[in-house]
Amino acid sequence: MKFYIETYGCQMNVADSELVAGILVREGWGQARSMDEADVILFNTCTVRQHAEDRVLGRITSEARRKHAKPHLKIGILGCVAQRLGNSLLTDYPMIDLVVGTDQYLQLPRMLSMLDNWGARDSVETNPKQLYFDAHPLRQGRHSGFVTIMRGCDNYCSYCIVPHVRGHERSRITEDILMEVHHAGKGGFKDITLLGQNVNSYSYDGVGFPELLVRVNKVPTIRRVRFITSHPKDLSDVLIGAMAELDKVCEHIHLPMQAGDDTILQRMNRGYTSGHYLGLVEKLRAAAPGIAVTSDIMCGFPGETEEQFQRTFDLMEQIRFDYAYTFKYSPREGTAAADMSDQVPEEVRLERLNRLIDLQSRITTEVYREQIGTVKEVFVEQTSKKSDEELSGRSRDSKIVVFPGHAGRISDFVKVRITEASGWTLRGEALDNE
Ligand code: 5AD
Ligand code: SF4
């Protein structure tokens, strides 16, 4: 029997899908290369915005037609939508055969083998402290690897559904993380990203995040370390110092700003001001010259006036992120912001979003053009999507770099001189053309 997983949403979901694949393969399941080959199709879902949820439920509804040609085919829903909506999915979407929440993946093989009795999430034991310490992810494809260091979130930003679905923050045992990093490196995943909703608050038995980085930096099988996501309220000077000093820690930080207005930041329950945020960016740039700073920005939060929006816009213009993901606020049932009385009309949110997109794409174009003429060390991940004669990889400062070369160099580190910039991609030529 074979399974196929389609993954939506953030890197945490990508890592969870690798974990689920590891759990199933260990139990004797085979991996299907496509949906056509699969006996079970699993959708690992995202609910951070309503649109993400609607999109995946639409996709599940349309893929259900496969059951006509293959009556034994089963469809499962994993991840944050499964966690949020639970068993109601089984009645509202009759094509769904099983619902598995984010803390229940160890039960998945049993649920599949006893589907008629175990399909429902709520009938299965769940462990809100789940850390999957005895399961091993099956990393695939790209040669950059994710290693989860913590699960859940305790921050309760007022717009965010994540703490409601993924539960309380808990950190993995330091030794387990180090072993997993070592193992991933041995498997060729030499560029590692440590994952958590707020990695800066990692804490296990007296080991905080800066100390974890010091230890990961010593793992001999890997060459690069990065981490997502950092929370500005927990980004300490010690961490900035560690980033500057540790040779494997890459010159990139993803630091969601969300908004540039202090009243909005406070109503978002973010725990910092715009001045504090700007100060952090300045410190990071002083400590690690050339560091890429990227961000998440939201517009149309309840009560956001045009002037408050303008402060977000102005701060983005002042900071000049290398790139930023921009979102319009989406009310999520059960969060504090969804109950705020002054919701911003959809057309205003959309119009503001468009202005943010235009601004950031202009800045990204400029920042990327400034890279022309520089030399970057590229970790080669795959042949480029457009041509087998071209390779694609990532620089330490988290930029996609494409250059002519052959597949034999995949998973090598190659020095590339940048000659062109287009969109979010740089192009160049290898300096050591052997
Ligand atoms: N509406 C819009 N964007 C959101 N995000 C989180 N919750 C919401 C929401 N309700 C954004 C934040 C976060 C990113 C992962 O998604 O910017 O950093
Ligand atoms: Fe959501 Fe805030 Fe936690 Fe990030 S830190 S997952 S935005 S609650």
Kindly state whether residues 393 and 287 are assigned to the same domain.
no
Give residues with Cβ within 8 angstroms of 274, minimum separation 6: 259, 260, 261, 262, 265, 311, 315
| Domain finish residue from 336, 352, 370 | 370
Is the beta carbon of 48 within 6 A of some atom in ligand 1?
A: yes
Element (H, E) at 180: helix 174-186
Kindly state whether residues 146 and 39 are assigned to the same domain.
no
- Does residue 136 sit within a domain? no
Confidence tier at 121 by pLDDT (50, 70, 90): low
CATH of the domain at 324: 3.30.750.200
| Domain finish residue from 370, 385, 402 | 370
Picking from 109-123, 379-393, 399-413, which range would have the lowest pLDDT averaged per residue?
109-123
Task: Tell me what the pLDDT averaged over the chain comes to.
Answer: 94
- Does residue 278 sit within a domain? no
Kindly state whether residues 72 and 157 are assigned to the same domain.
no
Residue nearest to atom 4 of ligand 2 (CA): 197
Kindly state whether residues 145 and 195 are assigned to the same domain.
yes
Closest ligand 2 atom to Cα of 269: 2
Q: In angstroms, what is the span from residue 161 Cα to ligand 2's centroid? A: 8
Longest CA–CA span in the chain (Å) reads 64
With 0-12 / 13-18 / 19 or more C-beta atoms within 10 angstroms meaning exposed / middle / buried, residue 93 is middle
Confidence tier at 123 by pLDDT (50, 70, 90): low
CATH of the domain at 117: 3.40.50.12160
Cα separation, 16 vs 200, whole angstroms: 20
Check: pTM over 0.85? Answer yes or no.
Answer: yes
Kindly state whether residues 39 and 111 are assigned to the same domain.
yes
Structural domain including 245 reads: 141-250
Test site for ligand 1: of 13, 48, 270, most ligand atoms within 8 A of the Cβ? 48
Is the beta carbon of 150 within 6 A of some atom in ligand 1?
A: no
* DSSP secondary structure code for residue 344 in this structure: P
Kindly state whether residues 105 and 60 are assigned to the same domain.
yes
pLDDT at residue 433 greater than cutoff 80 = no
β-strands 74-78, 40-45 pairing: parallel
Q: pLDDT digit string (tens) for 264-292? A: 999 999 999 999 999 999 999 999 999 99
Kindly state whether residues 189 and 97 are assigned to the same domain.
no
Is the beta carbon of 76 within 6 A of some atom in ligand 1?
A: no
Q: In angstroms, what is the span from residue 326 Cα to ligand 1's centroid? A: 9
Percentage of the chain beyond pLDDT 90 is 88
Of 118 and 336, more confident:
336
| Residue that is written with structure tokens 């290898």 in the block | 430
* DSSP secondary structure code for residue 219 in this structure: -
Kindly state whether residues 29 and 76 are assigned to the same domain.
yes
Of 119 and 26, more confident:
26
Kindly state whether residues 117 and 10 are assigned to the same domain.
yes
- Does residue 211 sit within a domain? yes
- Does residue 381 sit within a domain? yes
CATH of the domain at 398: 2.40.50.140
β-strands 144-148, 150-151 pairing: unpaired
Number of domains in the chain: 4
Kindly state whether residues 56 and 156 are assigned to the same domain.
no
CATH of the domain at 225: 3.30.750.210
